[in-house]
Amino acid sequence: MDVSLHPVGPGLRDRVLGLGPRPDQTRFAGSPVQTLPEAETDPQRQPVAILERGEPVGFCVLHRGPGPGGLAPTPADVLLRGFFVDATAQGRGIATRALVGLPGFVAEHVPGARRIVLTVNTRNPAAIRAYRRAGFLDRGELYHGGAHGPQHILELAL
């Protein structure tokens, strides 16, 4: 597959820090300048690079353990956070292909995980479509703890 996921290590770190979503998407996903250092200092978080043909084009964080507002409450849950594809690489289906590969990556790198949980802003229809295309199901609940309004709670059983 031309899109793959890899843990962020020294060889990818600087290139990942140079990535970012479109400015109008930053409020939803953040940027690696903020989220990568936080993930690197938290043993419950795994920073992950999205690669296309070996080059970083996106980023996300896997967070094990209870997330904000009781999301991902059990040790078998993994919270997907800060997922984005770089502004220059959008529109090529990279997000969907990365999300389709996510269960295999989680199975390999997060032993015992049984479910991936995420929130997506109700005003972010492109992201909602990508998550649903990848098999994430809407729990029918909204998370109201986000800084930019209500968010759908989606999950994918592993």
* Nearest-angstrom CA–CA distance, 8 and 34: 14
pLDDT 10s digits, 64-112: 977 766 676 788 999 999 999 999 999 999 999 999 999 999 999 999 9
Could you tell me the pLDDT band of residue 19, with boundaries at 50, 70 and 90?
very high
For residue 13, name the pLDDT band (cuts at 50, 70, 90): very high
Whether domain 3-157 has CATH 3.40.630.30: the reply is: yes
In tens, the pLDDT along 125-158 reads 888 999 999 999 998 887 776 777 788 999 999 9
Other beta carbons within 10 Å of 76: 13
What's at 86, amino acid-wise? D
Q: Residue 8's pLDDT is what?
A: 97
| Single-letter amino acid, residue 81 | R
What is the pTM (predicted TM-score) of this model?
0.91
For residues 158 and 103, the answer to whether their CB atoms sit within 8 Å is yes
Collapsed DSSP state (helix, strand, coil) of residue 140: strand
Bigger pLDDT: 25 vs 15: 15
Residue with tokens 């070996």: 54
Report pLDDT for 41: 95
DSSP character string of 24-65:
GGHHHH--HHHHHHHHHT-TTEEEEEEEETTEEEEEEEEEES
